[in-house]
Amino acid sequence: MISLRNQSLVGFVLVSLASWAQAYTPDDDGSNPRQYAVDASGNWGDNQNWDLGSPNSRELFAVFDEAYVPYGHTVVTDEDIELDGIHFNTPGTINLAGVGAFNLMGNEREASLNGWQGHQVFQARVNLQNT
């Protein structure tokens, strides 16, 4: 187990420890999810790429699920993003890149970065807070 507290990371790969798919039920844990809903690369801030609009709030949770994103894609941001956490459950490689930072803040709990399958690459700064 890796424990990171209030750290900044740049250019790392999150390799999923579980090779099986986990059903994600965000409402069960009180999170407010926004699911990436196009099978294509794109800009994080483009509301049309997300089922309920682009997530950028410590109350929101970003989800990359195999139902919408079965293959690898790159999602780019040019601004800092605040999130409760990010959940990856897709067999492809998701690359989050750009000049903006991903600030995982948590929302009345620890911030979370979950990888259930596939590979996740961050080519942007990631700040873990409230971990």
Residue 22 maps to a domain: no
Residue-wise pLDDT tens digits, 13-59: 554 444 333 444 455 455 578 999 999 999 999 999 999 999 999 99
Distance of alpha carbon 2 from alpha carbon 91, whole angstroms: 22
Residue-wise pLDDT tens digits, 4-14: 444 455 555 55
CB 84 within 8 A of CB 110: no
CB 50 within 8 A of CB 65: no
Residue 69 maps to a domain: yes
Q: Is 40 exposed, middle or buried (0-12, 13-18, 19+ CB in 10 A)?
A: exposed
Residue 3 maps to a domain: no
Torsion of CA 67, 70, 76, 77, to 10 degrees: 20
- Tell me the residue range of the domain where 69 lies: 9-16+27-128
